[in-house]
Amino acid sequence: MPGGRGRAIFRKEWGSLVKPSQGKSAVAAAEADGLRRHFGLLDTVAIHVGNILGSGIYVAPAAVAAVAPGGLAAAALWALGGVVAACGAACYAECGSRLPRTGGFYVFYREVYGEALAFVGGWAALLVTYPASIAAIALLCGEYFGKVVPGIGSGAQIPAAGAILLGGILNAIGVRTAAWVQKLLTGIKVAVLAALCLAAVIAAASGEGASAAASPSGPQTASLAALLGAMVILLWTYDGWSDISLVAGEVRNPGRVLGRAVLLGTGVLVVLYATVQGCVATLLPGGRAAASARVVSEAVEAGLGSGSGRFVALLVAVSTFGAVHGVQLTASRLGFAMARDRVFLRWFFRVDPRFGTPSRSVAALTAASLVYAFAAGFHNLLAFFSFSVWIFYGLTAAALVVLRRRRVGEPAPWRAPGGWFAPVLILFTAAAMTTSLFIDDPRRSLIGLGLLSAGFPVYAVWRAVRRGAAERDL
């Protein structure tokens, strides 16, 4: 290949192998992302809440009812989970305010830990965690949509595929469109879920449903193992609080907006979750609530009658589709960011000139999610990575400590409240969660860790290919 043209093509497709100077931060050394900053505070709150509020709240109150001796204790558990979620989200928000670029944790890890670990984290999330998560949520959406419209398909896969495709299209045709849809979906599911629960309680106050509350709402005592199990499910219901940092490069004034958005959004979720739990405690006896597989549906039916079941199913379908759409919006930026830094196929680093979206990255994530939706046994693969998720939460908290000590992005436009409390709490929680998950299922945890570690040899191959291409060009 001729030298001048070859070098130009190499720089375009592979990028330079020269490392940035140690004294400059990633922000100072990097080029612009090419994505416009469309998201304001309300958009950011809607994305944050919408990504978290999916299916978990419709099943988690059963686990809380099994260990909480009363409504006040149940609300305290949700508040405790909210504190953990707020601290975790605040760690990501402060990292994002210091490194306000598209890519979230990948950007933080590249700055603090280097390219190899950033690649591994991004590789795992891009190829497995995010598409499998989207597929899992979409399958639940399809299952509940099938209850609203019987006979739509032989199973949940067809409507799930429709949800994934619709979410992908909405995210590809415009950032403003995607933001508007996310605000609409988030507003609907928050308002309707709260109103439905309150209406059920009011309707039951003078009817048969009121008698159900006469039974104890939960056990007087609970074992430590049961309490930890409930906290695992409760924290899973808050999971998704890291996703908002992936779109930091598209948030207007991210230094101020990200922090405010995650705290405000988490506050909304705590109030909503406590409201739902209160509805369950009021309308169902403690034993029945703890044993229920569809606890919110049963509680609403106890207050409003069996005819409300289909409405609840529709609400779950809307909630899960909102989560699918939101995760597609945020996760699609990861492949774009990795391609920007030449650690993923350069083909993905393209902003659609008409719609202003990373359309190729959106399309690839949509395609991968469809594969998982139709693949057998992917739930186990997703479960393998649940062990690794808390490892990365801990790594982000530690990265925040390093960024502060190095004074990256100083003066910081926003800091997590409480000084060192947020990163220390997340480090402690991550250690406790990974230890608990390993003890509970060491085989699955080791497999998940092995799958994650497979990213290192993939990275070595990637670097060898880049180096070989550079040497051939010379």
Residue 265 CA to residue 272 CA, distance in Å, equals 11
- Hey, what CATH class is 38-473 in? mainly alpha
Give yes or no for residue 14 having a pLDDT over 50.
Answer: no
Q: Where are the domains of the chain?
A: 38-473
- Of 43-57, 192-206, 313-327, 426-440, the one with minimum mean pLDDT is 192-206
Torsional sign, CA 77, 83, 88, 93: positive
Taking only the tens place, the pLDDT of each residue in 276-297 is 998 888 888 878 888 888 888 8
Where does the pLDDT of residue 222 fall: very low under 50, low under 70, confident under 90, or very high at 90 and above?
low
CA angle centred on 277, ends 271 and 278, rounded to 5°: 85
C-beta of residue 232 within 8 angstroms of C-beta of residue 436: yes
Q: Count of CB atoms within 10 A of residue 470's CB?
A: 16
Residue 431 CA to residue 410 CA, distance in Å, equals 29
Give yes or no for residue 162 having a pLDDT over 70.
Answer: yes
Task: Give the pLDDT mean for 424-430.
Answer: 95
User: Which residues, listed in sequence order, are joined to residue 19 by a DSSP beta bridge?
Assistant: none
Taking only the tens place, the pLDDT of each residue in 368-379 is 999 988 885 555
Taking only the tens place, the pLDDT of each residue in 317-355 is 999 999 999 999 999 999 999 988 888 888 888 888 888
pTM: 0.85
The mean predicted confidence, pLDDT, of the chain is 83
Query: What tokens were used for 207?
Result: 């009817």
- 364 vs 468: which has the higher pLDDT: 364
Residue 319 CA to residue 25 CA, distance in Å, equals 39
Q: Tell me what pLDDT residue 1 has.
A: 39
Strand, helix or coil for residue 414: coil
DSSP character at residue 126: I
b/e burial code for range 242-265 (CB count within 10 A of at least 16 → b): bbbbbbbbbbeebbebbbebbbbb
Q: Tell me what pLDDT residue 24 has.
A: 41
Q: For residue 311, give the nearest of 151, 192, 205 by alpha carbon.
A: 192
Q: Tell me what pLDDT residue 28 has.
A: 36
The letter for the amino acid at 301 is: E
